[in-house]
Amino acid sequence: MPQITVDYSARLADGFDRPGFAKALHTAVVDIAAAKPPACKTQFRRTEETTVGPDTEGHAVVHVHIGLLAGRTDETKARLTEAVLELLRQYVKPAEDLALHASAEVRDLDPSYRKFDS
């Protein structure tokens, strides 16, 4: 915990500082949601095709999913979501011909969540 997944359009690959974003995001999750630094895990999933409305050209999408163990207030989740969006503004620099659609969601992990480390 937390489980973080970042889906992003392939067209952003060159303009998205993923390592920098992950490091800054982990710091935000620790500061805002009281996570432990070694528990922060982020996976990036590049999507090859993006369609926004009727268009396939000129758009790029980034969506950040953060799953936390239950217990954080809605205010804490909202603060974290706003922090994620601000970090995306800093670490994603799309080409000038792309409209960037950025979003984030913080949710509680299901009570069935389990993990192991080896």
CATH code, domain carrying 64:
3.30.429.10
Residue 116 is assigned to a structural domain of this protein: no
pLDDT at res. 95: 87
Residue 74 is assigned to a structural domain of this protein: yes
User: How does pLDDT run across 80-101, given as a tens digit for each residue?
Assistant: 999 999 999 999 999 888 999 9
Q: Which residue has the higher pLDDT, 29 or 54?
A: 29
Q: Is 104 a residue whose pLDDT tops 80?
A: yes
Asked whether the beta carbons of 24 and 37 are under 8 A apart, the reply is: no
Residue 54 is assigned to a structural domain of this protein: yes
pLDDT at res. 56: 72
Residue 62 is assigned to a structural domain of this protein: yes
Q: What is the mean pLDDT of the chain?
A: 94
Residue 58 is assigned to a structural domain of this protein: yes
Instruction: State the residue range of the domain holding 39.
Output: 3-108
Residue 113 is assigned to a structural domain of this protein: no
User: How does pLDDT run across 37-72, given as a tens digit for each residue?
Assistant: 999 999 999 999 888 888 778 999 999 999 999 999
Number of domain units in the chain:
1
Q: pTM of the full predicted structure?
A: 0.93
